[in-house]
Amino acid sequence: MISLNARIPEGPIAEKWTSYKSGSRLVNPNNKRKLDIIVVGTGLAGASAASTLGQLGYNVKVFCYQDTPRRAHSIAAQGGINAAKNYPNDGDSVHRLFYDTIKGGDYRAREANVHRLAEVSNQIIDLCVAQGVPFAREYGGLLTNRSFGGAQVSRTFYARGQTGQQLLLGAYSSLSRQIAAGNVTLCNRRDVLDIVLVDGKARGIIARNLVTGEIERHAAHAVVLASGGYGNVFYLSTNAMGSNVTPAWSAYRKGAMFANPAFTQIHPTCIPVHGDFQSKLTLMSESLRNDGRIWVPANMEDVDRLRKGEIKPSDIADEDRDYYLERRYPAFGNLVPRDVASRAAKERCDAGYGVSSTGTAVFLDFADAIRRKGHDTIDALYGNLFQMYEQIVADSPYATPMMIYPAVHYTMGGLWVDYDLMTTVPGLYAIGECNFSDHGANRLGASALMQGLADGYFILPYTISNYLAAEIHTPCFDAGSSEFDLAAEGVADRLHALKNTNGRESVDQFHRRLGKIMWEYCGMARNEQGLNRALGLIADLRDEYGRNVRIPGGMDEYNPELEKACRVADFIDLGELMVRDALQRNESCGGHFREEYQTPDGEALRDDEHFSFAGAWEFKGSGTAAELHREELHFDVVKPSQRSYK
């Protein structure tokens, strides 16, 4: 039986990270030049890690499947980044950010990692300001904040509705500086398809050059995965269409455990699905809930007339509207956490009060805010988001309420890591969204950017030196060794097997079918009967995929269908693991809502006695069920209680 050792430092929680840094092993500058590190991914986590490690003096190779690091999906983040600066003087602190994150995650996160994240948050803002990130400021020039869900303070720093873009440009400028200095080598247009282990340690990767089709080998003393989340297992999500699980899944198949895969986040404010052939969904920032009020008609007669186009939303009197979040959660109102807001919207739509022609939308209304603050103020805060909505929907939010509905947005599950951010494979690290570390069963808004930059800029550079200090006498690895030969042959064989299937159905058709299974049976709400049905449907889909997928084009050329084929095969296997994880967790917590386990008023009902653990799954071979391991969660500072936002 494998024992999961999180290697959490001793001592009071507020002193653990300081104590760790004081006692960690270091690598002197001359030895850093002898050590090679591979970083997979160039989003906020990957770009910040690669640039920082390069500046420290390590030899770094960084990989991305895009043509430039600037196209990483981090660029799509809109609303902001959290930090405990307490500039508004409204009672915020490192402890309150830590508490809100633990509570928001429904007490399913590791306390020590979350407290470290809260501690580091303030340093992130200072660094980004020094980089020139244009955070919003008050008239006098001071940085300003706004509120996000799950908090009663304003701690979110933002750059209008383009915060991710601006933070990524800051990280990209830092990365570009190290590339120009020769400390970092950028390998773009590469698909990382396998992790290479030598004597049980991660020593390199196998990648496919997406332009030429060449299978490449790259060796290093350590490998860092920063490849993002797996929300595209649902097909329709707010993720970039190229976002995939393949690097993390390759690590899983080589011995890195995958933790809490069923913990997926549904974002409450997205543009609803509008057709059967839609390929992705569009997020509307959570920041809009600062001023927008969410409602549906209180009377079914008004619902019918709206759907028929007989009346407009503005024709419904205020007393005939159900501002259901304000009604159910008066203490937090429209700024409840995402899982709570999403389930509330689903409940209203399931009850028949949805406002679109399909019945799957609610209103996000800015009329009150425009009257109170003025058109120009709202335009300054959200103008680019309003423009984006109008371009997609052909309605102006200044005149008509937005129509929104929940959609898959983020994944809290990921590769299991210890306090050092190392997986169960020595020398293999996972940072950012691809690990399970900080958010428990539900992530608070504006915390993804915080985690990515915290891991890359401020945490990994300390923790990886602890490992590499023992590697200074290890010579550079030969990518022509037998371990690399075996891994490269395995990748080539897999690609040829997919290519030679010669079926009749496209990769996208299979992906869409998988997404429908996952959304229906393992989406916003799950139950035992549906999850068991999903297992059978996924097994049938996998079998059919292996017999009937069609991949046009050649092997040794640019072939996006071949890229997608590998990714969808991994998504099918991941989907099965997600369903198994949801089946074994007989409770509701955060984004994991089992319909059998809820309070009388429809809230998530945890079972702390039996399920206060992180569930880490071990790969046991193709065709064999994965094995579950438990990391028991201990709460010494924040005592678990029934979450209440009322």
- Judge whether 418 and 7 are in contact, CB under 8 Å: yes
DSSP reduced 3-state for 225: strand
**Residue recorded with tokens 């956490």:** 337
- Judge whether 157 and 170 are in contact, CB under 8 Å: no
Question: β-strand 414-415 against 258-259: which pairing, if any?
Answer: antiparallel
- Rounded to whole angstroms, the Cα distance separating 373 from 166 reads 26
CA 327 and chain centroid, separation: 30
- Rounded to whole angstroms, the Cα distance separating 248 from 233 reads 13
**Residue recorded with tokens 């994944």:** 411
- The sheet with strand 627-632 has its strands ordered as 414-415, 258-259, 613-618, 627-632
- Rounded to whole angstroms, the Cα distance separating 271 from 285 reads 11
DSSP code of residue 458: I
Cα 420-425-430 angle, rounded to 5 deg = 50
- Rounded to whole angstroms, the Cα distance separating 129 from 580 reads 44
Catalytic residue among 293, 321, 338, 567: 338
How many Cβ atoms from other residues are within 10 Å of residue 455's Cβ? 31
DSSP reduced 3-state for 208: strand
- Rounded to whole angstroms, the Cα distance separating 221 from 473 reads 11
147 Cβ contact list (under 8 Å, min separation 6) = 153, 154, 155, 156, 290, 335
Tokens of 335: 């700024």
How many Cβ atoms from other residues are within 10 Å of residue 289's Cβ? 26
Distances in whole angstroms, Cα of residue 610 to Cα of each of 76, 189, 618, 632, 633: 38, 45, 20, 10, 11
338 is catalytic: yes
Catalytic amino acids?
A: 338
